[in-house]
Structure formats: C-alpha cells, structure tokens
Amino acid sequence: MTNKITVNKWVGNFINGDYNCNDVSTQCSAGWYDWFCNNSSLAKKTKLLGKKVIQLLPSAKIDGHKMYVWFKNNGDCQGSYDDFRFADIKTGEIFYTIALANNTHKNEIWGRENNFEQPILTGSWKEVKEFFGI
C-alpha cells in the first residue's frame, strides 16, 4: 500500500474529482489495492465506495485525521464483492472492513472488536450506518 493519506484528505480529493479518471494509476492513488474486475470498472466503483466513505466519516469510530481508507474487489466462488477498510495511518493496522452487499452477500462489518473472527454486523446499509452511530 503506497498511498496513505488521511481519510479527510482523501474525501477532499474525492470531492475535487481527483479520482474520476479511469486509468489504473489514478485508481491506485484513490486507494485500490487489489481487484479482480476490469480496470475500467475501478473509477465507477470508486464513486460508489467514496459516497459510502463520506457517509461514515461523521462517526466517532472513524478518525479522519489518523486513519486512511483503501479498497479491494474480492472474488470468491459465488462472485465478486467490494470492500473498503479504515486503517491507522501510522501502523497500517485495520480497524474496520466494510464489505458491500451484492447478489449473494449482505453488507458486513468486520473489526477489531472481535479480532475479525466473524462479522460484527450483517445487514442493510442503514444498519451499517447505525452501527457507526450515523
């Protein structure tokens, strides 16, 4: 992971349109770490995930000054799904992984509260926001 900027800085860049280009370099600077989808899909995914990041930023559980966000598109035998992760900017330690719903998965929150052993929450996006106090 080479692009570690605070969540607050990332949101500013996102709002300014810095991540709108489809090229892989731009999307890696947006925080994409790994993906199994077409490169051309990343910008669209960044727009969707970025809106979700902004929705969670007011949470007391997310420190926009001390955390960074990064993205992953995961593949499994049931298809693919996207997630984003909030991590400590100094240590890289992940605090939360939010896996977004798709045709076979519901939204899931994984976190340090239970050492990532199972989802802390599985449910709707509304329930995800409620977990984060939004």
Half-sphere exposure of 18 (CA within 13 A, CB side): 12
pLDDT in tens, 42-87: 899 999 999 999 999 999 999 999 999 999 988 766 667 899 999 9
Answer yes or no: pTM beyond 0.85: yes
* Number of neighbouring beta carbons within 10 Å of residue 31: 26
Distance CA 17, CA 102 (A): 26
| Tokens matching residue 36 | 């199994």
pLDDT in tens, 27-44: 888 888 877 666 678 899
Q: How confident is the model at residue 98 (pLDDT cuts 50, 70, 90)?
A: very high
**Strand 32-34 with 67-76, pairing:** parallel
* Number of neighbouring beta carbons within 10 Å of residue 56: 22
